[in-house]
Amino acid sequence: MRKMIIASTSSVYGSDYLAYLLPEISLLFKDADTVLFIPYARPSGISYDEYTRIVKNAFAKISKKVIGIHQFDNQKEALENAKAIFTGGGNTFELVNQLYKNDILALLKKVLENGTPYLGTSAGGNICGVSMMTTNDMPIVYPPSFYTLGCLPFNINAHFIDPLPNSTHMGETRETRIKEFHVFNDTPVLGLREGSWLRVIGNVIKLEGNFTAKWFQPTRIPIEIESGSEFDS
């Protein structure tokens, strides 16, 4: 049975890395001493080792060890043996690129479907959707495909943000971008605000956190979903 937390962001403003989620992560990863960390999104381009150190420091607060998947000669074995998996944020293009290059995307999906507890924040949450086509990230590398895990029957837009009032900037709003996505694609999109997350238990997907989320479907007016609402998968 699937057990996942898919969060819009690793950190909320003014708070330490992962701090707002640690009580939830403690429960999700309660049967694991060690967390397998996937550092491939490399926020700000930091190295795998640097990124893993940041994650180690955060998980030390809930007495969990952390090992980066890049430290294993056999990444497939590492995934199969993991008792808990965390994919952190950064650049979704590079994350997806490395998942394909290391040929671990399909296996990651399999172990998640089989019940290995999973935490994904930002880019690590984006990859749980049907595709990465609703990422906000810059296409700094060319991955072999935009298709991702498909653990959710919809796409995530992480760090969802409403238009800024009184903005004079002419770049597209987030909502405009998602509407453009729906000209070419049918997959619904959930705009997850920072501080919101999804809890997936088996086939039940529940919106958690203090905010509503914005639900986009092709040719329909987007609607706000209340925290506590459930989606079927």
Binding interface with a second copy (CB under 8 A): 9-14, 42-45, 90-91, 93-94, 132-142, 145-146, 159, 161, 164, 168-172, 176-185, 194
CA distance 202 to 197: 16
Contact residues for 39 (Cβ-Cβ < 8 A; gap 6+): 48, 51, 52, 55, 68, 69, 70, 88
Which residues are part of the catalytic machinery? 122, 137, 159
Minimum CB distance to a second copy, residue 190 (Å): 15
State the DSSP string of 33-59.
SEEEEE-TT-GGG--HHHHHHHHHHHH
**Cβ proximity of 128 and 149 under 8 Å:** yes
**Cβ proximity of 191 and 216 under 8 Å:** yes
**Beta-strand relationship, 189-193 and 213-216:** antiparallel
Select from 18, 111, 117, 119 the least CA-distant residue to 59: 18
